[in-house]
Amino acid sequence: MQIPFFELNRQYLDIQEEIDQAVAEVFKSGWYILGEELKAFETEFSAHCRGGYAIGVGSGTDALQLALLACGVKPGDEVITVPNTAVPTVVAIVAAGARPVLVDIDPKTYTMDPERLESYLKAQQLPLKAKAVIPVHLYGHPADMNPIIEIARKFGLRVIEDACQAVGAEYCGARVGILGDAGCFSFYPTKNLGGYGDGGMVVVNEASLANHLRMLRNYGEESKYNNAVFGYNSRLDELQAAVLRVKLRYLDVWNQRRRSIAGLYRDLLADADLSLPCEAPYARHIYHLYVVRSRERDHLQRKLKEHGIITSIHYPMPVHYQKAYQILGYSRGDFPVAERFSSEILSLPLYPELTDEQIAYICHCISV
Ligand SMILES: Cc1ncc(COP(=O)(O)O)c(C=O)c1O
Break the chain into its structural domains and give their ranges.
8-101+112-245, 251-367
Ligand 1 contacts CB of residue 200 (under 6 A) = yes
> Residue 115: what pLDDT?
98
β-bridge pairing 290-293 and 283-284: unpaired
> Residue 256: what pLDDT?
98
Specify the DSSP element, H or E, that contains 227. strand 226-227
For the segment 67-95, the average pLDDT, to the nearest whole number, is: 98
Ligand 1 contacts CB of residue 195 (under 6 A) = no
Ligand 1 centre distance from Cα of residue 88 (Å): 6
For the segment 226-232, the average pLDDT, to the nearest whole number, is: 96
> Residue 135: what pLDDT?
98
- State pLDDT tens for residues 233-263: 999 999 999 999 999 999 999 999 999 999 9
CA distance 158 to 180: 8
- State pLDDT tens for residues 323-350: 999 999 999 999 999 999 999 999 999 9
For a mutational test of ligand 1's pocket, the pick from 94, 139, 167, 186, i.e. the residue with the most ligand atoms closer than 8 A to its C-beta, is: 186
Q: What whole-number percentage of the chain has pLDDT above 70?
A: 100
Q: Which DSSP category does 276 fall into?
A: P
Ligand 1 centre distance from Cα of residue 106 (Å): 21
> Residue 48: what pLDDT?
98
Q: How far apart are the first and last CA of the chain?
A: 15
CATH no., domain 251-367: 3.90.1150.10
Query: Which residue spans within the chain are E strands per DSSP?
Result: 53-57, 78-81, 99-102, 130-133, 158-162, 170-171, 174-175, 182-186, 200-204, 221-223, 226-227, 283-284, 290-293, 345-348
For the segment 191-210, the average pLDDT, to the nearest whole number, is: 98
> Residue 230: what pLDDT?
96
> Residue 277: what pLDDT?
98
Under the banding of pLDDT at 50, 70 and 90, the label for residue 275 is: very high
Q: Please classify residue 167 by burial: count the beta carbons closer than 10 Å to its beta carbon, then call 0-12 exposed, 13-18 middle and 19+ buried.
A: buried
Under the banding of pLDDT at 50, 70 and 90, the label for residue 314 is: very high
Neighbours of 12 (CB within 10 A): 14
CA distance 129 to 292: 36
> Residue 347: what pLDDT?
98
- State pLDDT tens for residues 22-37: 999 999 999 999 999 9
Under the banding of pLDDT at 50, 70 and 90, the label for residue 7 is: very high
Q: Which CATH code, of 3.10.270.10, 3.40.980.10, 1.10.10.10, 3.40.640.10, is assigned to 8-101+112-245? A: 3.40.640.10
| Average pLDDT of the chain to the nearest whole number | 98
> Residue 21: what pLDDT?
98
Ligand 1 centre distance from Cα of residue 224 (Å): 30
> Residue 141: what pLDDT?
98
> Residue 96: what pLDDT?
98
Under the banding of pLDDT at 50, 70 and 90, the label for residue 268 is: very high
- How many C-alpha atoms does 94 have within 13 Å on its Cβ side? 10
